[in-house]
A and B are shown apart, each in its own frame.
Chain A
Amino acid sequence: MKFQLKNILAVMAIAVTLFSCSNDDDDETITGNGNLKLEFDNVYKSANFAFNTNYTNSNAEVVTVSKVKYIVSNIVLTKADGTTFIYPKNQSYFIVDELTTTTLTLNLSNIPAGNYTKVKYGIGVDKTQWEAGATGQGDFLATAQTAGMMWSWSAGYKFVAFEGTFTSSTVPTATQFKLHTGQTGTDYNYTEVTLDFPENALVRTTITPQVHIMADLSQLIDGTNKINFSESATVMGGAKLALVTANISSMFTIDHVHND
């Protein structure tokens, strides 16, 4: 019996010793630079978005989408201590195009290692940048032109391009719709979105966090403000663009952050 008790005590002692191993990771000094990925996952309401699929809006219009592009810009990351990292402005313009998978993930590099808690970005190109003139645009001007995300230099960039066909009670045959946001005579229509990370994005030299952003495309036309294509199938100017821009504020959510 004594022998057994000794054994048990020995096992327990070993176990306690092993349990006592402390994890000093919390005390590490975080240095260096790392990368972070912003993944834009287009959805329609709660469904995974797909082209050539019928979606019914609250106004009973049925839309079938064939083009989804938007400009994401001016990325700012906020650390747990409240300090911010502004991604270099000349690298901070991206076109997310549902048709091209590689554009859905923005690969941000040279980010100071740290625990990040939120991200802010713009949809469109800010006025300051546009006012920098054609030469101030760098490579992005050509990129936007190739992608069809410019009207003309004087008219400016298209911030969001959303196209397809729709039917409704008054428009029974599939009819093309086009929604392009950008500046109008009265509104510039660039807008910014700030999203809290549900878990910290741990940027390290060895960890590249991936932020999974859900972009609910239905919000563009079926958000707080309703855009009826039956009234006008082409939405490229006027007061409606301000309504669409306002809808963008509720378009994005973060589903999760992977720290792998």
Chain B
Amino acid sequence: MKKYTLLLVLLFQLANATEKDSLNTINPFTKYHSFLEEEDFCDVCGCSASGGSMGFASMLNSNFVGIRYFNQQYKSTDGLYSNSPWYKENFNTVQVWGRIPVSEKVQVSALLPYHFHARETATGNKIINGIGDITVLAMYRLYQTHKDSTFLVHTLQLGGGIKAPTGKFNEANSGSINPSFQVGTGSWDYLLATEYVVKRKQFGLNSMLNYVIKTENQKSYRFGNQLNYAGTFFYLYEKNSFSIVPQLGFAGEVYESNYQYNQKLRNTNGDILFGKLGFEVGKDRFSFGANAMLPINQNLTGGNVEANYRWSVNLNYSL
């Protein structure tokens, strides 16, 4: 019943979009609703724009610039033999990002990653590094309840974005064991994103779903489209200018098959589900966050790639 009510409300809001603007008072809670925004656009593992399901954890303000480091640990095998060795892969990304509201309901995010990835091989470590793919994303706040008038506070955002092939795609790596040992997909990709936050007093649940449509790059390689989802429970504790937000949740990624010369590549599809734990602390204009993710269930690249864990730290400054 609640769902139907929400749907009706949504329809009503759409129909009365212009009116709603004038009715929309400044919500003192607005700046917190985007605590845990998880706009994940990982292109499989290595060449993600923002990286893994580490998400795009927005800070204590929707208006910020920041820097984040994240680390992804994998192991992979060629899968050719029963006695094939497993090799470690260590993916590192430093990402500069910002989120700027262009209007009350529209926020634009930009992410600029720099990757340095290492992978063991039979002949020693192989290292790739470089600027990754830049992503620009716009989110539109479709619906938001007023804090005072309702038991639960809902926020629904929809958006879309583009990922540009600013990172280098090396075809030779695509044929190797982990086709994602890249700093870029080499393709223009498109994102469709939704985010829904529901809160009750200091408790909240942030859920997000996004879909990345990937196109063929100049080397005629196309990474499979990707579905990302996450749900994160959080609690907001505030005192004076200090705030802390512990978080607990799950995040998942589903990859469709990669294609090369319009031909499907076997064993390149897969999925993974992570459990995650983290926190964010804010003081004045600065905030610091940390996150760790452990796989619960996975089947990547025909079982030839296994994710071990991911973790991240970030530092943001509110504008």
* Residue in B closest to A50 when the chains form the complex, CB atoms: B83
Say yes or no for A259: interface residue by CB 8 A criterion.
yes
Say yes or no for A154: interface residue by CB 8 A criterion.
no
| Among A7, A48, A202, A260, contact of B263 (Cβ-Cβ < 8 Å) | A202
Give every chain B residue within 8 A of A25 (Cβ-Cβ): 220, 261-262
Given contacts A4-B105, A198-B266, A199-B263, contact A47 B216 (CB under 8 A): no
Annotate A13-25 by CB proximity to B: 1 below 8 A, 0 otherwise.
Answer: 0010011010101
Say yes or no for A41: interface residue by CB 8 A criterion.
yes
Give every chain A residue within 8 A of B140 (Cβ-Cβ): 4, 8
Say yes or no for B17: interface residue by CB 8 A criterion.
yes
Given contacts A15-B160, A48-B84, A200-B263, contact A1 B18 (CB under 8 A): yes
Given contacts A8-B140, A46-B82, A48-B84, contact A259 B172 (CB under 8 A): no
| Among B21, B171, B213, contact of A1 (Cβ-Cβ < 8 Å) | B21
Give every chain B residue within 8 A of A12 (Cβ-Cβ): 160
Within 8 A of A (CB), among B197-256: 213, 215-216, 220
How many chain-B residues does the 8 Å CB contact rule pick out?
34
**Distance, CA A259 to CA B265, complexed state (A):** 10
Q: Nearest-CB distance from A47 to chain B (Å)?
A: 5
User: Are A47 and B81 within 8 A (Cβ)?
Assistant: yes
Within 8 A of B (CB), among A24-62: 25-26, 41, 43, 45-48
Give every chain B residue within 8 A of A15 (Cβ-Cβ): 160, 162, 190
Say yes or no for B106: interface residue by CB 8 A criterion.
yes
User: Are A19 and B190 within 8 A (Cβ)?
Assistant: yes
Overall SS of chain A's interface: mixed
* A: interface residue count bin: 20 to 34
**Distance, CA A202 to CA B262, complexed state (A):** 11
Q: Nearest-CB distance from B99 to chain A (Å)?
A: 17
| Among B80, B105, B138, B266, contact of A41 (Cβ-Cβ < 8 Å) | B80
* Residue in B closest to A5 when the chains form the complex, CB atoms: B17
* Residue in A closest to B81 when the chains form the complex, CB atoms: A48
Give every chain A residue within 8 A of B84 (Cβ-Cβ): 48
User: Are B81 and A258 within 8 A (Cβ)?
Assistant: no
Give every chain B residue within 8 A of A43 (Cβ-Cβ): 81
**Distance, CA A199 to CA B258, complexed state (A):** 13
**Distance, CA A11 to CA B21, complexed state (A):** 21
Say yes or no for A256: interface residue by CB 8 A criterion.
yes
Q: Nearest-CB distance from B311 to chain A (Å)?
A: 33
Say yes or no for B123: interface residue by CB 8 A criterion.
no
User: Are B261 and A207 within 8 A (Cβ)?
Assistant: yes
Say yes or no for B5: interface residue by CB 8 A criterion.
no
Say yes or no for A196: interface residue by CB 8 A criterion.
no
Q: Nearest-CB distance from B85 to chain A (Å)?
A: 9
Annotate B259-298 by CB proximity to A: 1 below 8 A, 0 otherwise.
Answer: 0111111100000000000000000000000000000000
Give every chain B residue within 8 A of A260 (Cβ-Cβ): 171-172, 174-175
**Distance, CA A47 to CA B83, complexed state (A):** 5
Q: Nearest-CB distance from B309 to chain A (Å)?
A: 29
Give every chain A residue within 8 A of B160 (Cβ-Cβ): 11-12, 15
Within 8 A of B (CB), among A186-239: 198-200, 202, 207, 212, 214
Give every chain B residue within 8 A of A46 (Cβ-Cβ): 81-82
User: Are A47 and B213 within 8 A (Cβ)?
Assistant: no
* Residue in A closest to B17 when the chains form the complex, CB atoms: A1
Say yes or no for B103: interface residue by CB 8 A criterion.
yes
User: Are A259 and B261 within 8 A (Cβ)?
Assistant: yes
Give every chain B residue within 8 A of A11 (Cβ-Cβ): 138, 160
Give every chain B residue within 8 A of A258 (Cβ-Cβ): 175
| Among B18, B81, B220, B265, contact of A2 (Cβ-Cβ < 8 Å) | B18
**Distance, CA A23 to CA B222, complexed state (A):** 12
Say yes or no for B188: interface residue by CB 8 A criterion.
yes
**Distance, CA A5 to CA B216, complexed state (A):** 30
**Distance, CA A214 to CA B81, complexed state (A):** 10
Say yes or no for A255: interface residue by CB 8 A criterion.
yes
Give every chain B residue within 8 A of A200 (Cβ-Cβ): 263
**Distance, CA A21 to CA B80, complexed state (A):** 37
Given contacts A18-B190, A41-B80, contact A256 B266 (CB under 8 A): yes
**Distance, CA A11 to CA B106, complexed state (A):** 13
* Residue in A closest to B191 when the chains form the complex, CB atoms: A15
| Among A3, A18, A41, A212, contact of B103 (Cβ-Cβ < 8 Å) | A3
Q: Nearest-CB distance from A54 to chain B (Å)?
A: 13
User: Are A19 and B175 within 8 A (Cβ)?
Assistant: no
* Residue in A closest to B83 when the chains form the complex, CB atoms: A47
* Residue in A closest to B105 when the chains form the complex, CB atoms: A4
**Distance, CA A207 to CA B21, complexed state (A):** 57
Give every chain A residue within 8 A of B263 (Cβ-Cβ): 199-200, 202, 259
Q: Nearest-CB distance from A112 to chain B (Å)?
A: 17
Give 5 A-B contacts (CB < 8 Å), ordered by A residue.
A1-B105, A15-B190, A18-B190, A47-B83, A259-B260
Known pairs A21-B215, A46-B81 / 6 extra A-B pairs, C-beta < 8 Å = A1-B18, A7-B138, A8-B106, A11-B160, A18-B190, A48-B80
